[in-house]
Amino acid sequence: MTSATASSSEHHYELIVIGAGPIGEVLAQAVAAEGMSTAIVEHDLVGGDCAYYACKPSKALLHPIQVAHESQHLGGVQSASVVADDLLARRNAQVSHYDDSAQKQALEESGVTVVRGHGRLTGEKSVEVHASDGSTRSLQAERAVVITTGTAPNIPPVFEGIPVWDSQDATAVQDVPPRLIIIGGGPVACEAASWMSALGSKVTMLIREGSLLTGFEPFVSDILTEQLEQSGVDIQFYTEAVQVRRPEGMDQGLGMIKGGPITVRTASASIEADELLLATGRRPALDSINLASVGLSVDDVLEERTPDWLHALGDAGGKHQLTHMGKYQSRQFAARFIHSAEAPDADNTDTEPPTPQVVFTDPQIAFVGLSEEAAREAGYDVITAEANFADVAGAALLRDDVVGRAKIVVDTATDCLIGATLMGPETAEMLHAATIAITADVPVSILQHAVPAFPTASEVWLGLLQQVADSAGR
């Protein structure tokens, strides 16, 4: 067992982690649990964006909305409706009213030293922490420094300098704007359109491309567009902002409307709203950690041209922007760090596991592995199968009017699943079956003997697997 050593001006740890989001926390806790001295540096809330400004508050808002929707499509119950103030109160409770003391305490109880302040590199294995009270603390790593600083929003040039909402404001919404423009069609835009519309905003989505959720199976966009439009969202594809004006813009705090009306001019129209949410993606937050002090650029980190002692994991590493995938990276890294005397490579895994993702819209969109298009682009020869959830007895019992579709992608060379999309009722909880099938390389001929219980939505697998068997001539 080793412990932190401190001289009057410098504190030594085996591992220093910059950024206490879920990825940094998982790594620091795993290493500290082995008795290795570990410090984690955080300049905002311990728990990171995920806990306070992203995953947790967004799902805290979306789940009651989903329950209300379901009850409106279920005979035999008096349907529930969303009560805006109560919904925001639930969100506040789920983010502990933006108080991280319990999360900080949990980290400290697991043996991690939490250092509050902005961390930046000052040289090899050296980190300087600037606290909000103006004090500075120097930390020295014996073995490694890991950057887990998450992401910062992408701001297209036309929006630069104009006060508007980013995803943090949307998840922390306090003031509900009567009219909201959302720029973008990714998961942030689609989920935020769902909760802002349920809270009472008239939402207009402006999307540069011709679909929502690019990269997912094409039917996902078709179904989701119809569902969002039915709930009152106006969706305009192939539409880009060319000019933006907000004469009385001012930042009034997180989740508050940032001033007077905002006007967006597109190629064909001018649209006015009370707020605008930029959901145009996020990039690794590597700009303010002084990489130059160790002779590195942002690209060096993203392309893994870093010295042995320096690594970036989670969103900051640039491979995924999903909590569960970052936490997986942390567990893998921690195992190698604990068992090797040297600092391990960040990416020393034999194979990259399939990536699952759930977008918590109504219906839920659960996706793992490769879409058909991505599989073909990667050179696979594939068989695909599709089925509607409305044709599955177990799904039809969950909701009176079932909307949704499932698709699987099978590699003909191995007869194994390489991708699955389940868009329908309660599919978030069904996804792991597909993830296990892909990870374990279970052939379709075996999967056909995994019998789903009746009457559940999982019976969708029966039709999908039979179609693949038929196509393969079995």
Q: Which is nearer to ligand FAD, 156 or 443 (CB)?
A: 156
Among 22, 177, 363, 425, binds ligand FAD (CB under 6 A): 22
Q: Which is nearer to ligand FAD, 23 or 296 (CB)?
A: 23
Sign of CA dihedral 314, 319, 320, 326: negative
AA letter at 206: L
Among 21, 363, 419, 425, binds ligand FAD (CB under 6 A): 21
Helix (H, G, I), strand (E, B), or coil: what is residue 93? helix
Among 103, 149, 194, 329, binds ligand FAD (CB under 6 A): 149
50 near ligand NAD, rule: CB under 6 A = no
Q: List the x/- string, 190-229, binding to ligand NAD by CB under 6 A.
A: -x---------------xxx--------------------
Residues 51-110 close enough to bind ligand FAD by CB under 6 A: 54-55, 58-59
- Count of beta carbons in the 10 Å neighbourhood of residue 279: 26
372 near ligand NAD, rule: CB under 6 A = no
**Residue 21 site contact among ligand NAD, ligand FAD, none (CB < 5 to 8 Å, cut-off depends on kind):** ligand FAD
CA separation for the pair 375, 434 (Å, rounded): 16
Sole window of 97-105, 118-126, 354-362, 466-474 interacting with ligand NAD (rule: CB under 6 A) = 354-362
376 near ligand NAD, rule: CB under 6 A = no
Sole window of 89-97, 249-257, 357-365, 442-450 interacting with ligand NAD (rule: CB under 6 A) = 357-365
With tokens 């789903």, the residue in question is 452
128 near ligand FAD, rule: CB under 6 A = no
Number of residues that bind ligand NAD (CB under 6 A): 24
Q: How near is the Cβ of 339 to ligand NAD at its closest, in Å?
A: 31
Residue 65, token pair as written in the block = 């909305």
DSSP string over 273-333: ESEEEE-S-EEE--TTS-GGGGT--HHHHHTT---TTEEE-GGGGTS---HHHHHHHHHHH
Dihedrals φ, ψ of 238, to 5°?
50, 40
Among 111, 186, 318, 326, binds ligand FAD (CB under 6 A): 326
Residues 141-170 close enough to bind ligand NAD by CB under 6 A: 154, 156
Q: How near is the Cβ of 324 to ligand FAD at its closest, in Å?
A: 5
CA separation for the pair 238, 78 (Å, rounded): 40
CA separation for the pair 313, 151 (Å, rounded): 11
Q: Which is nearer to ligand FAD, 186 or 344 (CB)?
A: 186
Q: Which is nearer to ligand NAD, 49 or 411 (CB)?
A: 49
Residue 456, token pair as written in the block = 């559940």
Residues 244-303 close enough to bind ligand NAD by CB under 6 A: 279-282
425 near ligand NAD, rule: CB under 6 A = no
CB half-sphere exposure, 436, CA atoms < 13 A: 7
Exposure class string for 135-159: b at 16+ Cβ within 10 A, else e: eebebbbbbbbbbbbbbbbebeeeb
List % helix, strand, coil for the chain (3-state, nearest 5): 35, 25, 40
Q: Which is nearer to ligand FAD, 146 or 223 (CB)?
A: 146
**Residue 363 site contact among ligand FAD, ligand NAD, none (CB < 5 to 8 Å, cut-off depends on kind):** none
**Residue 148 site contact among ligand FAD, ligand NAD, none (CB < 5 to 8 Å, cut-off depends on kind):** ligand FAD
Q: Which is nearer to ligand NAD, 181 or 358 (CB)?
A: 358
CA separation for the pair 468, 474 (Å, rounded): 9
- Of the candidates 152, 154, 145, the one whose C-alpha atom is nearest the C-alpha of residue 119 is 145
CA separation for the pair 345, 318 (Å, rounded): 16
363 near ligand NAD, rule: CB under 6 A = no
Establish whether the linkage from the previous residue to 157 is cis, with ω within 30° of 0: no
| Burial classification of residue 285, based on how many CB atoms lie within 10 Å of its CB (0-12 exposed, 13-18 middle, 19 or more buried) | buried
48 near ligand FAD, rule: CB under 6 A = yes
Among 115, 182, 188, 193, binds ligand NAD (CB under 6 A): 188
C-alpha dihedral (277, 98, 53, 259), degrees to nearest 10: 10
**Cβ proximity of 419 and 370 under 8 Å:** yes
Which parts of this chain interact with ligand NAD (CB under 6 A)? 154, 156, 183-189, 191, 207-209, 240, 279-282, 321-322, 357-360
Which parts of this chain interact with ligand FAD (CB under 6 A)? 18-24, 41-45, 48-50, 54-55, 58-59, 118-119, 148-151, 167, 171, 188, 285, 288-289, 314-316, 321-324, 326
